[in-house]
Amino acid sequence: MIDWFTALQIGVAVTGGILAIVLGALGRRPSDLTMAFAGVVALLLIVQLAVTIAGPLTGNTPTGSLFEFYIYLISAIFLPIGAGFWALIDRSRWSTVILGVAQLAVAIMLYRMGQIWFIQVA
């Protein structure tokens, strides 16, 4: 895990999450903008997966449990992708809110993953 990259991911997920919840509350259907944020969050998580696989090989190892970290990471990848498919099928304002909920959940999980990698002592 790379500290600035994690901060970037959390920043994008929180921005996209709040934006989608606000737009959904205003009654907007899923748009290119709200979908794009969820897409970028998913993409960044896949980059994070690559970083996580490469990290221990180059000496960047977690202080906590790598196994627990992977459970969080793989669950997190499903969230924006799942919410995105939901938004494609159900074109209602509620899907916009769900895009937001999924991204905020990813932000919380990334925060927990940061704790496992940098702080937690297993």
Residue ranges binding another protein (CB under 8 A): 65, 67-68, 71-72, 74-75, 78-79, 82-83, 86, 89-90, 92, 94-95, 97-98, 101-102, 105, 108-109
CB of 58 to another protein, least distance (A): 25
Smallest distance, another protein to C-beta of residue 4, A: 25
Of 58 and 110, CB closest to another protein: 110
What span, in angstroms and rounded, lies between the C-alpha atoms of 97 and 30?
A: 9
**Gap between the Cα atoms of 74 and 45, Å rounded:** 9
Phi, psi of 97 (to 5 degrees): -65, -40
Minimum distance between the CB of residue 65 and another protein, rounded to whole angstroms? 7
d(CA 46, CA 70) in angstroms, rounded, equals 12
At its nearest, how many Å lie between another protein and the CB of residue 89?
Answer: 5
Between 4 and 113, whose beta carbon lies closer to another protein? 113
Ramachandran assignment for 27, one of left (phi > 0), alpha (psi -120 to 50 degrees), beta (any other)? left
